[in-house]
Structure 1
Amino acid sequence: MIGLWVSGSPAAQDGARNLHSKLKLAISAQQDNWARSPVEGEQDNEGLDSPSSRWPIATYQGILLCVIFSLLSTPIGLELNLGLVLSVSDRQIFSALVATCLRNNIFYYPNMLTRYRNVESLTCMWVGVEEIKRFGLALYKVSRLCGRGSLGEPDEPDSVVLRLSDLQFPMPDDKNLWGASSNPELAQRLLIYSRRDRSDDPSVTNWVSQSGMLLETDENWWN
């Protein structure tokens, strides 16, 4: 959908808009499924308590991309607080997504690690945790860009926004780690770039929730 849009072709962009409309309808229709909280001990179709069965991160990413497309494909409108404007339907979807992530506490670092407790592959575990970190930061950036006004007032049921204090995890790891070609090489690089903020104790770490000043001054440091 986004690929069609950025191609610049009028016909492709019309197709992207049509796909976006259908995607929003599907997301809304399936909200009871993706917005529900996982049941303790819940298993997937194969009888395994897999990471994907507890937190469908790929689904969350798709929903966020759908909202981002709405911002890309509509004329830019600014409110008095200089925030971008979301339509009512987009606001409801975005707020439901944020509320789901907060309710399931997916941005709490120990929970990220627990999600992969049955995964033996170091690469799979590390990539999965880093994926959640980057998803959380992207969700925060959209929330911040849209501003409080376009996401409703505090006493409204659809006013859920993501704040820095909700991102209770260490900063994303060094980009050089993505160049590792094998599990052993990744393990070696993780040791080299090991930092004290890997601790599960927020009182002795440099979690994003404690680094608001850094993110407010330069939000592109983690790209």
Structure 2
Amino acid sequence: MTRLRPRRALLRAAVAVVLPAVVAGCGPSPDDAQPAAPTPAPPSSAAPATSAAAEPRTFAAVGDSITAGATDVSQPLVGDRVQGDASWLPAAEQESGLDLVAGWAIPGATTADMLAGVERTDWTADVLVVMAGTNDLVRGLPWEQSAADIEGVVAAAGAPTVVVVAIAPNDPRAAARNGYNAALADLASRNGWTYLDPWGEVDAGGAFAFGASPDGVHPTPAVAAAVGGRIGRSLAALG
């Protein structure tokens, strides 16, 4: 079991849309000027009001076995604790500098399962990372349902910034996987989310490159770590 770093204090998002929180400064009030004089008081030398975007500090993750890092349902992601040895999360946390503060990932989960799980949570995180859909492909679920479920997950999690990650290569369903990711990228664009595909180095036309997967569906621990590193660096760039 990998215990990730202790949680830091969570930032409070100023808006509930896919934008960073904004903190406004304020200049002196005109009422603070010196008492009335024969001539107007000189202009204040204080800096004008400004606004600055707060950098993300925390993230939550939603996914299936590839996020949990295990194929056994007895090893789900538990909050911020990764039990499997082939999860991308530890490397993503390390590379991003953000704290993983919450998550939901169970081997075999569909997007509908994820929605049901996240609806029961009470999370506060700056960024939500979603990697969802491999099991929808396996079960032949329609894309329209998957898309609605993912939108529901995002709405339920309530993070101000959302990163949607491409699903992993899939040897038995390479073409369907590529089509799913194309639809996923379009969904992200229409909703103002960030779409990220970290699988390029092990993607052989939608299937895994030789040696990158033990079963054609899940990455090896080394590949998962490399993918997590790429996700983490992308998260770090959000600020």
Q: TM-score range by the shorter chain?
A: under 0.3
TM-score (norm 1): 0.26
Q: Which has the higher contact order (CA 8 A, sep 6+)?
A: 2
Which structure has the highest strand share of the two?
2
Which structure is larger by alpha-carbon Rg, 1 or 2? 2
**TM-score, normalised on structure 2?**
0.24
